[in-house]
Amino acid sequence: GVVTVGQLITMAAHLEGRGASVLDFTGFAQKFGTVLSYIRLGETPETLNQVRITPGGADAVIGCDIVVSSAPKASAHYRPGTRVVLNTAEMPTGDLVLHRDASLNTGTRKAVIASAVGADNLWTMNANALAEQLMGDSVFANVMMLGSAWQQGLVPVSEAALSQAILLNGVAVEKNRTAFALGRVMAADPDRLAGHLSPDAPAEETLDQIIDRRAEFLIGYQDAAYADAYRATLAAFMQATAGADEALHRAAARNLFKLMAYKDEFEVARLMTAPEFAEELAQKFDGDFKVNYHLAPPLLSRRKDARGRPAKRRFGPWMGGPMRLLARMKGLRGSALNPFGHHAEARLHRALLAWYKTALHRVAEAYKTDRTGDFLAILCAPDGIRGYGPVRMQAAAKARADAEAVLKRLER
C-alpha cells in the first residue's frame, strides 16, 4: 500500500523527465509495524541532493495510517504549513495483540497532527470505509488517498503520468484508476458521492431496542421460551432497580445476553450452516471453491499446540453434513442428553450464567445511587470474558473474581 503509492508517484515523475527519489522504511510491516516512504521530487534529477527528508522538512504528507502518521518517526518531519491528507480509519497495531482493549485514541492523534501543521493544513477522510463502500475492498484505500492528495495539489505530477504509472504497475489497473478518481471526487466535491454511500451510523439503540433485538436472536439460538426467560430476568432486575441510572439496565441487558448466547457447539453449527453465511461466501468468492472447517472439538482434540492449548484440525467439506445435523439438535442444549454438556467449558458456561443471575439479584438489593460506577463494573464483568478453551477459562476466573471482590465490598 504505502510503498506502492511511493512507487506510483516516483514513476509518474520519471515519465515526465523530473527528478525523483524514494526511500522506504518498511520496518516490521507484516507485524503491523511502521511503514514510511520519503519522496523527493525536483524539476531535474540534478536538483536532488539527498533522499532522506530532514526533521521539519516535509512539504506534504499522505497519511495512510493515523497511528503511523502521529508517531514520532513521522511527525518529526512536520512543521507549521506542512499539508496533510490523513486517513482516519482505525487499523490494528501490535499493541492490540498484547492488550485487547487498547485504544488508538484517534481523536487525540488527529488533534496532535493539527497542532503541529495547523488546522487549516489538515484534511481527513476515512479512506478504508469509503473504499469498502464504493469499491467493495479497503485495499484500494491508499490509492484513493493518493487521488485526494493530488486533487489538493500535494503531488506535483500530472494526472496522465499517474495514470500511466498505474498501468505500468500492472495490478488491478482499472480498479486503481477508479480509486484514484474517487479520491479526487472526495476532495473536490464529496456530495457527488453521497447517494452511493451508506447512511451515517444509526442513533444509539434505546433500551427497548437492545432487549428486543437480543430476544429475537435468542429465539433462533434456542427457542421462544429461552428468549422469554431473558426478558423475565431483565424485567425483574429493572423493577427492583427502578429509578437507577439507565446505564445499569443497558449493561445488564447486554451482558446477560452474552452469557445466554454463548457460542457452543450447537451455535457454531447453526451459524456455519446458515443460509446467510452461504450467501456471503458466494458473494466474496468466485469460481469453484470449497469450504474447510478448522476446529478443535473438546472430545476429539487430544493434541496440544506450542502453548499447551487444544490444536485445531482441518475437516473437509464433508463436515457440512454433520454441522447441519448438529444445528438441528440445539434443543438438547441444557438437557441431560446434551453430548457436549459435560466438558469443562460447558460447565463453566452454566456456572457463569447462574452466577450472573445471582449477581443481578445481589446488585438490586445493595444498589445505592452514589456507587453507580462500582455496580456498573460488576454488571459489565462478562465483557472481559472472551475467547474459547483455556483463554476463556482464564478470563472468566479473573472477571468473576474481580466482580465478586467489588460486590462483597459494596454489600458490606
pLDDT tens figures, 326-354: 999 999 998 889 988 888 888 999 999 99
CA distance 359 to 339: 29
**pLDDT of 202 higher than 80:** no
- What are the C-alpha distances in Å from 217 to residues 197, 338, 383? 28, 21, 18
Q: Which residue has the higher pLDDT, 312 or 329?
A: 329
**pLDDT of 96 higher than 70:** no
**pLDDT of 160 higher than 90:** yes
**pLDDT of 252 higher than 90:** yes
Q: Report the pLDDT value the prediction gives residue 341, as an integer from 0 to 100.
A: 87
CA distance 121 to 221: 51
Q: Report the pLDDT value the prediction gives residue 90, as an integer from 0 to 100.
A: 84
Q: Report the pLDDT value the prediction gives residue 102, as an integer from 0 to 100.
A: 67
CA distance 50 to 7: 17
- Within 13 A of 114's CA, how many CA atoms are on the CB side? 12
**pLDDT of 389 higher than 80:** no
Q: Report the pLDDT value the prediction gives residue 118, as an integer from 0 to 100.
A: 95
* Reported confidence tier of residue 206, pLDDT bands at 50, 70, 90: very high
Q: Which of 10, 22, 18, 61 is nearest to 42 (CA)?
A: 18
Mean pLDDT of 12-33: 78
Report which secondary-structure segment, H or E, holds 83.
Answer: strand 83-87
**pLDDT of 112 higher than 90:** yes
Q: Report the pLDDT value the prediction gives residue 285, as an integer from 0 to 100.
A: 85
* Reported confidence tier of residue 371, pLDDT bands at 50, 70, 90: confident
Mean pLDDT of 204-233: 94
CA distance 229 to 260: 10
DSSP string covering 319-332 = GHHHHHHHHHTGGG
Q: Report the pLDDT value the prediction gives residue 94, as an integer from 0 to 100.
A: 62
Q: State what percent of residues in the chain have pLDDT above 70.
A: 93
Q: Report the pLDDT value the prediction gives residue 30, as an integer from 0 to 100.
A: 47
SS3 241: coil
**pLDDT of 309 higher than 80:** no
pTM of the model: 0.66
* Reported confidence tier of residue 298, pLDDT bands at 50, 70, 90: low
* Reported confidence tier of residue 388, pLDDT bands at 50, 70, 90: confident
- Within 13 A of 131's CA, how many CA atoms are on the CB side? 27
CA distance 218 to 333: 13
Q: Report the pLDDT value the prediction gives residue 97, as an integer from 0 to 100.
A: 60
Report which secondary-structure segment, H or E, holds 24.
Answer: strand 19-25
pLDDT tens figures, 234-248: 999 999 999 888 999
Q: Which residue has the higher pLDDT, 341 or 94?
A: 341
SS3 244: coil
pLDDT tens figures, 26-54: 765 445 567 889 999 999 888 888 888 99
